[in-house]
Amino acid sequence: MKPHHKLFLVIATGVVVLDQVSKAVVSATLKMHEIRPLIHGLLNLTRVHNTGAAFGLLAGQASPLRTGFFLVVSLFAMGVVLWMLYRLPPGQKVELVALSLILGGALGNVFDRVRLGEVVDFIDVYYRSYHWPAFNVADSAISIGVILLLYRLVFAKA
């Protein structure tokens, strides 16, 4: 194992653990759709279960089709991330962190889909009556990882 792969494993594992622990705490302490304000006018904890993908995509489809589809897509994406890691030269720290966040987030949501058939979301960001769709630690890690990769793509030195 290359030295930078150890860092990858630590970050990805940390994301999975933080994601699953936060979902377990929320599931144990909040009823479905219960709201707990954290920052008035900006942030709530709200337990919801997402049967679809980001923003509820495919949420209305039959469960076996939906779950199978998301598992295949997630496994494919994780394979691509692992392939990218394998090809990543040492010293590419931003890319390493980004790929670690993406893989950890994907695994966190896959665990929910396999175990529950849906994903537990609980972070509700809003302004007045405008709410961003609820999300979780795994979704945040994936989003941050993608933003980091895009940043490096746009601002990479030639």
As annotated, the active-site residues are 121, 139
First-to-final CA distance of the chain: 29
Backbone region of residue 83 per phi and psi (left: phi > 0; alpha: psi in -120 to 50; beta: other values): alpha
Residues facing residue 37 across a β-bridge = 44
Residue type, 69: F
Distance in angstroms (rounded) separating the CA atoms of residues 95 and 3: 15
Distance in angstroms (rounded) separating the CA atoms of residues 143 and 105: 9
